[in-house]
Structure 1
Amino acid sequence: MVDEADVNEFLARIAGDLSNQVGELTTDLVELYARELPHLVHDDESVVSLLSASLFQNIDTALRIFVHGIDPTRVEAPAAAMEYARRLAQRGTPVIDLIRAYYLGQTAILNHALTQATRLADDPVLLGGMMSKALTGTFAFIDRVTRQVVSAYQEERDRWLLNRSALRAARVRELLEGDGQELDAVETALSYRLRGTHLAMIVWHAVEPAQGNALGSLESVTAALGEGLPTTGLPLLVPADERCAWVWFPLEKAVLPQEEDVQRVLEKAEPTVRLVLGDPGEGIEGFRRSHRQAGRVHALSTAAGEQCERALTFRDVGALALMASDVAATRSWVGDILGELATDDEQHERLRETLLVFLATGGSYTAAAAKLTMHKNSVQYRVRKAEETLGRAVTDNRLDVELALKLCQRLGSAVLLAP
């Protein structure tokens, strides 16, 4: 078994030898990036210069860890590395490219270390111990530094998005308020064509996201959703605040995204993300109307809190959104219509769900059973129990009952009665 002191001494020697070649190693990594991440190298001269400075300082810092026996978990990311991360954020470079650059660099430097080590020692046990120590140390260093540079990237991205969008946000608010503006000038300022079909969306974090990259993640959700739509250009995204954005998609035709596409996007997004959609509209008035509709549904979702579905559309819940502007009054009305059936427990929830599907399928026990994947007799039993709880047949006041059931489904405990 190799002695740990011998391993540390040998590793320090290897790192010391490589420390004399930091300039050459930096050049090698730039050439590696030119092959693997060419857009990082074929960029503005000042940015590429900053990349080289970041590489030089990171390599130098990593080697000093092994030369001097420094704890890698206590090392701070070099200044050039932090600034390079911020510059990439400003230029819209995906953060995954920054992370990949670090792991490509780690692999390349470890290969140099192994080549150097095999020239200086032929003891496989010593070589194995050295590489194990080197792998553990470099991983700890890369993990520590990437956490810091990604955090700097995310903070800069949010700040930059807010600053860049300040003028656009002011123009959009004026446009929504109906102030007279010259159309061509507004389109130029927004980099968005107002002549056409628009679909408005409001996307936000219900609570502060764990990753701290609020606007950046909302931008990613917007881009992902836009990929499934027949758009004529890039969406217009305007931050409403640090956790919420207003979005418009320019469409070739008036369509909404498929429900499965929306759910797929949300599954990949942070769990705090919520979104609502208006109906598509034509021209400037359609731009405004679609946003007003999304705003009403946003108010509905906010009132419902955590019980609400993560994605809602005005087409599905427009009437509910108008009713739910006063939640206290809505809760009282739901109680008047449904009575005990509005109780917030599992038993009454099952009855409400069955009754709502029964009404939505035209009062057909067979169709409701198929949709609920239940036996027809079970549907009949639940509908009968629901009517007993209501104290009357659902046909007596069908429209109000169906609306009240939908409010319970969408708003949950916000309008339900305590058991």
Structure 2
Amino acid sequence: MDPLESARGAQAGRGVAAYLLSNVSGLADEMLEYLVARIPEIGEDAKLRGLTLGSCSSNLEAVLSMVRHGIDIAAVEAPVTALEHARAMASRGHSVDVMLRFYRLGHEFFTEKLAESLTDSTEDPAVALRTFVDLERFGFRYVDRISSLVAAEYVAELDRRQNQARAERADVVRALLAAERVDIARAERVLGHRLTGRQIGYICWVDGRGVDLEGFARKVGKLLGADHSLVVADGPLAVRGWASITGMARPSLTGIATELPSESRNVHIAVGSPHPGAAGFRTSHLEAVRTRRVVELSGRVAPTITQFSDIELVDAISRDLDAARAFVAAQLGDLARDDPKERGERAALLAVLDAQGSLATAARTLGIHRNTVLQRMRRAEERRGRPMTVKIAELHAALLVCDVLGASVLRESSPH
């Protein structure tokens, strides 16, 4: 490039910058109207409109002053109003792409004004073109740098707000679970969750990473009958959820496993019973916690969907695990061993009791012949040391506990 032509272009650029700076206020007003016409998100938001005008004015003044005084682009810093504009966009829930449109369209406006100014002030086409290229390159680099700075501030503000919202939500959940007095209207607003309906608490957990547990828990909430469920992380491998449902019908988990996504095979689910209101929020959650405890005591490896109503008796008996083992031993005698034969005999005895004494129904349940059920039942009575009709309620309860908790309440296998 001809040094003389370059010097003339730089001088012309400084002149254009000085000219535009003399009317930077009017230029900022024009830029604002240009943006308002193209970005509907500004709408009737007076504060956002004011911040947009401030950002237009401060950015125009900054870039034009840098050109006029020959300041290197590396010295660019985001104006205070531009950073505040980014924070306002984040607080209003606008996407970062919408925020950056302000800068892309602002650059477009700036380019048009450069072209108009050069046409009016520079007679030599070669100098005008050289000046335009230089100013446009500088403007692009300025916008590129400012865009990065305001995007970083937008993300930081979003993180601050999300962390604050999470902390506030966690505090409300803690207060509800601690049975503290809370303002229900405020709690519902903070949680985004209705507390006036019947509440179902549930817990989803996994043994390893790799599952979107929060997304999974929301799908569980929908299957339980809630349009929107509250989901709160409980460490990296578990989430707590609440579904608010209407009507008095008790949701059934039958078939839910087939409706859940494929990753359900890696997730344990414990579900409490429906209970009304804020007190029900706590009660159902505690039931889900107790259900999870029983599932983990059972030593099951394969993930399951378990309702509190299905293990309520087992939970009550096993609150004191040593007492539960003593109870099982007292009711089952030698039948309380963790051996395959005893396991089959206990299953036969339990099936007969569940069927109210019907051997045929028990046989269908177990998928074996009626005579086989009878033989196992008789052997079970021998090991127990008394007929099944003696203390039948206690016997049924002990068999249920064994069926659910297995080795946790049984004696070790006998040496054969």
Q: Which band: TM-score by shorter chain?
A: 0.5 to 0.7
* Equivalent in 234, 238, 251 of residue 228 of structure 2: 234
- Counterpart Cα distance in 1 of 2:378 and 2:268: 36
Distance 1:321 1:168, change over 3 A: same
Q: The residue matched to 2:205 in structure 1 has which SS?
A: strand
Task: Determine if contact 2:220/2:260 at 8 Å carries over to the other structure.
Answer: no
How much has 1:267 moved relative to structure 2? 7.5
**Which amino acid letter does the alignment assign opposite residue 314 of structure 1?**
F
Matched, 1:183 2:184: yes
* Equivalent in 347, 364, 377 of residue 353 of structure 1: 347
Structure 1: runs of 5+ lacking an equivalent: 1-42, 51-83, 92-155
- Counterpart Cα distance in 1 of 2:385 and 2:356: 21
Q: Deviations over 1:90-122 (max 9, x none)?
A: x9xxxxxxxxxxxxxxxxxxxxxxxxxxxxxxx
Aligned to 1:283: 277
Q: The residue matched to 1:202 in structure 2 has which SS?
A: strand
Alignment of 1:315-326 (within 5 A): 315-326=309-320
Q: The residue matched to 1:351 in structure 2 has which SS?
A: helix
Distance 1:387 1:162, change over 3 A: farther
Q: The residue matched to 1:279 in structure 2 has which SS?
A: coil
Alignment of 1:19-418 (within 5 A): 44=95, 46=97, 165-205=166-206, 207-209=207-209, 211=210, 213=211, 217-231=212-226, 233-264=227-258, 268-269=262-263, 271-306=265-300, 310-418=304-412
Q: Deviations over 1:53-89 (max 9, x none)?
A: xxxxxxxxxxxxxxxxxxxxxxxxxxxxxxx9xx99x
Task: Determine if contact 1:162/1:239 at 8 Å carries over to the other structure.
Answer: no
Task: Determine if contact 1:308/1:412 at 8 Å carries over to the other structure.
Answer: no
**Which amino acid letter does the alignment assign opposite residue 177 of structure 1?**
A
Q: Deviations over 1:274-325 (max 9, x none)?
A: 1211110111122222122222222222323336872221211112112212
Task: Determine if contact 1:221/1:265 at 8 Å carries over to the other structure.
Answer: no
- Rg larger in 1 or in 2? 2
Aligned to 2:20: none
The count of aligned residue pairs is 268
Task: Determine if contact 1:197/1:280 at 8 Å carries over to the other structure.
Answer: yes
Q: The residue matched to 1:198 in structure 2 has which SS?
A: strand
Task: Determine if contact 1:279/1:315 at 8 Å carries over to the other structure.
Answer: yes
- Counterpart Cα distance in 1 of 2:197 and 2:369: 49
- Counterpart Cα distance in 2 of 1:307 and 1:218: 18
Task: Determine if contact 1:225/1:265 at 8 Å carries over to the other structure.
Answer: no
Structure 2: runs of 5+ lacking an equivalent: 1-93, 102-150
**Which amino acid letter does the alignment assign opposite residue 361 of structure 1?**
A
Q: Deviations over 1:122-153 (max 9, x none)?
A: xxxxxxxxxxxxxxxxxxxxxxxxxxxxxxxx
How much has 1:259 moved relative to structure 2? 3.5
Distance 1:398 1:221, change over 3 A: farther
- Counterpart Cα distance in 1 of 2:250 and 2:236: 26
Aligned to 2:53: none
Task: Determine if contact 2:229/2:243 at 8 Å carries over to the other structure.
Answer: yes
Distance 1:234 1:307, change over 3 A: same
Aligned to 1:12: none
Q: Deviations over 1:339-390 (max 9, x none)?
A: 2212112211111111111101111112112222222211111111111111
Q: The residue matched to 1:394 in structure 2 has which SS?
A: coil
- Counterpart Cα distance in 2 of 1:330 and 1:161: 45
- Counterpart Cα distance in 1 of 2:245 and 2:336: 41
Task: Determine if contact 2:208/2:237 at 8 Å carries over to the other structure.
Answer: yes
Q: The residue matched to 2:300 in structure 1 has which SS?
A: helix
Moved over 4 A (4+): 47-50, 160-164
- Counterpart Cα distance in 2 of 1:256 and 1:220: 24
Task: Determine if contact 1:203/1:275 at 8 Å carries over to the other structure.
Answer: yes
- Counterpart Cα distance in 2 of 1:198 and 1:400: 33
- Counterpart Cα distance in 1 of 2:349 and 2:259: 31
RMSD: 3.2
How much has 1:258 moved relative to structure 2? 3.3
Q: The residue matched to 1:362 in structure 2 has which SS?
A: coil
**Which amino acid letter does the alignment assign opposite residue 197 of structure 2?**
G
Which moved further from structure 2: 298-307 or 185-194? Answer: 298-307
